[in-house]
Structure 1
């Protein structure tokens, strides 16, 4: 891919990154117009890296090039802010067209993905507002489960995460939403419509159950 990009007229490759931290550092240093993103960054998520890059620079064009063509990968990338999505194996002409389209501020999907992407975008325009748009999808999942009354250990089991990771998510959400504690978070979340679907937590897993003194563990 790097060799192909270097062969294109008027295209300068300013760096290559192997992981999230390197990608963020290179973007800060070089301020590129377009970033080609692989969803598989080893231990890191290309979707979350895309989201962070777009948060830092909303004008940056992210073109996802990946072997994962499933709906979840496509739609998660779009929600994260990607402006293009190609499958690995795309022809050189398709890659060039996508790079130039994204650089010009256009939205570009590979031919195998265009119809699904158009249907998703059309539906997104007609759906109601997403609660807490400042949160990531994963943070919103955690908030929904907190609002149902689950403690962090239970949330960790349901989302296949470590309890420490869930705790960090809760801390981050409290800061983003400027709420002082878990109880107020539950109130805000339920007012926004979260935590009202599905089964309720049992008494041992409720926010007032056997947790740490700060209610965050």
Structure 2
């Protein structure tokens, strides 16, 4: 069974690249890709992803707020945060939002793919150091 993924990233080239990267994997299928935070929950309700890969800084609604909304509206969808901007309170906010994983964008592509799989199977992916 393929892992169904929603991608939320506001930069078109980054979103398209993430989708292409994930689609290279036989066990992953991108079922929705959005460029604004306020589109995450409606897209997730329509596509029923197993994992939502969310950027933190999105127009409309930020990724952590959307993560909390997903937890309420679609609790079976696990959230993996992918961010380029590391803030001191980022991990604390992510935990409070109920996310299953938190990655920084400057890591290897293989780590992202592995994190999607880990989160989909009920695991957690958190940075080794506090961010």
Considering the TM-score relative to the shorter chain, is it more than 0.5?
yes
Please, what TM-score do these two structures have when normalized by structure 1?
0.50
Counterpart secondary structure, 2:130? helix
Please, what TM-score do these two structures have when normalized by structure 2?
0.81
Give deviations 1:18-40, integer Å, cap 9, x for gaps.
Answer: 11232111100111000000011
Runs of 4+ in 1 over 4 A off after TM superposition: none
Shift of 1:59: 2.1
Give deviations 1:117-169, integer Å, cap 9, x for gaps.
Answer: 8xxxxxxxxxxxxxxxxxxxxxxxxxxxxxxxxxxxxxxxxxxxxxxxxxxxx
Instruction: Indicate the residue corresponding to 1:72 in structure 2.
Output: 89
Instruction: Indicate the residue corresponding to 2:39 in structure 1.
Output: 22
What CA RMSD, in Å, does the superposition of the two structures yield over aligned residues? 1.4
Instruction: Indicate the residue corresponding to 1:89 in structure 2.
Output: 106
Shift of 1:71: 2.9
Shift of 1:96: 1.0
* Residue correspondence of structure 1 range 119-198 to structure 2 within 5 A: none
Cα separation, 1, equivalents of 2:75 and 2:88: 24
Q: Higher helix share goes to which structure?
A: 1
Equivalenced residues, count: 114
Counterpart secondary structure, 1:52? helix
Runs of at least 5 residues in structure 1 that lack an aligned partner in the other structure: 118-217
- The answer on 1:5 being equivalent to 2:22 is yes
Cα separation, 1, equivalents of 2:129 and 2:91: 12
Counterpart secondary structure, 2:29? coil
Give deviations 1:87-142, integer Å, cap 9, x for gaps.
Answer: 01211110111000000011112xxx22328xxxxxxxxxxxxxxxxxxxxxxxxx
Q: 1:21 to 1:42 in 2, by over 3 A?
A: closer
Question: 113, 116, 122: which one pairs with 2:130?
Answer: 116
Give deviations 1:46-93, integer Å, cap 9, x for gaps.
Answer: 111110011112221100000122331121011101100010121111
Cα separation, 2, equivalents of 1:102 and 1:96: 10
Counterpart secondary structure, 1:75? helix
Q: Which has the larger radius of gyration?
A: 1
